[in-house]
């Protein structure tokens, strides 16, 4: 098994993609601590997943609000029950306010940043402190379409997800010498509770095109979340050692064959960058 005895922490692990990640890690032999905002969600998920544990395998569920630094600190203190921490998956996140940018309240904007960016940062801070002492580790941050494409009427979500990718790239460089690999995963369009949020907002707030896409995903299905979960397994395993600072699409990138492209992956492929005229075979002159 790819993750045998690897101790892993997954935020937002009680439902949607987070739950698929927890299940995939358990299936590959990892010990898992997962969290969710409510104790009810934690207890339900723990009871359901405990039935598939292998002998000696550990699964711990804890309530945690990643927007609260104190709650995150308590989470890591309790997660120490399973021993040294090898992998952290930052999955917890929210869409935030949906609607025209001029109507977004600063309170809603700030809350989205507190969960999606500050929450991710605080989790990463605790993870790095733990991993530096052992000389290795894996941090996986879940990004999304907002990181690479404008998302009208979801300005808070789009801005925070772009920030998460730059945070990922920065941490990767800062802790490269400590052999801590830090990567971001774009899971693709998933049918989750966020899809329902868009449908509840309606086409006037979400925009007709984005509403129609979510309606289609809700009715006909979207990207299989197991793709992103399996990519997280790969990034958590020794197979991906040394691959760091990347934004990887679960749906579109050939990550299963990355071993063939190791030399190229040391450069700026799969990173955020500014497009200059030369990238489009043009040359601007004054």
49/40 Cα distance (integer angstroms) = 14
pLDDT in tens, 9-66: 999 999 999 999 999 999 999 999 999 999 999 999 999 999 989 999 999 999 999 9
pLDDT at position 60, please? 97
Global confidence as pTM? 0.92
The answer to whether residue 161 is catalytic is: yes
Residue tagged active-site, from 2, 132, 138, 157: 157
Residue tagged active-site, from 161, 175, 234, 270: 161
**202 — pLDDT class (breaks 50, 70, 90):** confident
pLDDT at position 206, please? 76
- Does pLDDT of 203 surpass 90? no
Q: Where are the domains of the chain?
A: 7-188+223-280
pLDDT, mean of residues 258-264:
94
The answer to whether residue 216 is catalytic is: no
pLDDT, mean of residues 171-179:
98
228/251 Cα distance (integer angstroms) = 8
Percentage of residues of the chain with pLDDT beyond 70: 92
pLDDT at position 210, please? 72
Q: 33 - beta bridge partners?
A: 9, 60
- Does pLDDT of 156 surpass 90? yes
pLDDT at position 190, please? 67
- Does pLDDT of 208 surpass 90? no
Write down the mean pLDDT value for the chain: 92
pLDDT at position 3, please? 98
CATH superfamily, with its number, for domain 7-188+223-280? NAD(P)-binding Rossmann-like Domain (3.40.50.720)
Lowest mean pLDDT among 68-77, 165-174, 219-228: 219-228
User: Of 29, 34, 32, nearest to 13 (Cα)?
Assistant: 34
Lowest mean pLDDT among 27-41, 110-124, 161-175, 176-190: 176-190
144/147 Cα distance (integer angstroms) = 6
């Amino acid at each position: 098994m790819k993750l045998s005895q690897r101790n892993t922490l997954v935020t937002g692990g009680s439902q949607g993609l987070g739950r698929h990640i927890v299940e995939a890690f358990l299936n590959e032999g990892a010990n898992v601590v997962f969290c969710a905002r409510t104790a009810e969600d934690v207890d339900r998920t723990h009871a359901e997943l405990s039935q598939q544990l292998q002998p000696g395998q550990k699964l711990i569920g804890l309530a945690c609000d990643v927007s609260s630094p104190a709650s995150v600190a308590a989470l890591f203190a309790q997660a120490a029950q399973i021993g040294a921490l090898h992998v952290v998956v930052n999955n917890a996140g929210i869409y935030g306010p949906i609607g025209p940018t001029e109507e977004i309240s600063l309170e809603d904007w700030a809350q989205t940043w507190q969960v999606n960016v500050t929450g991710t940062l605080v989790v990463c801070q605790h993870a790095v402190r733990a991993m530096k002492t052992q000389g290795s580790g894996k941090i996986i941050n879940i990004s999304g379409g907002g990181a690479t494409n404008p998302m009208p009427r979801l300005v808070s979500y789009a801005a925070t997800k772009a920030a998460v990718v730059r945070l990922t790239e920065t941490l990767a460089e800062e802790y490269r010498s400590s052999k801590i690999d830090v990567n971001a995963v774009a899971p693709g369009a998933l049918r989750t509770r966020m899809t329902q949020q868009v449908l509840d907002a309606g086409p006037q707030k979400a925009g007709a095109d984005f509403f129609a896409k979510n309606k289609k995903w809700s009715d006909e299905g979207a990207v299989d979340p197991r793709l992103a979960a399996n990519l997280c397994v790969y990034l958590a395993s020794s197979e991906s050692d040394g691959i760091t600072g990347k934004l990887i699409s679960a749906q579109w990138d050939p990550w299963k064959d990355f071993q063939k492209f190791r030399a190229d992956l040391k450069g700026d492929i799969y990173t955020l960058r500014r497009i200059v005229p030369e990238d489009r075979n043009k040359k601007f002159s004054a």
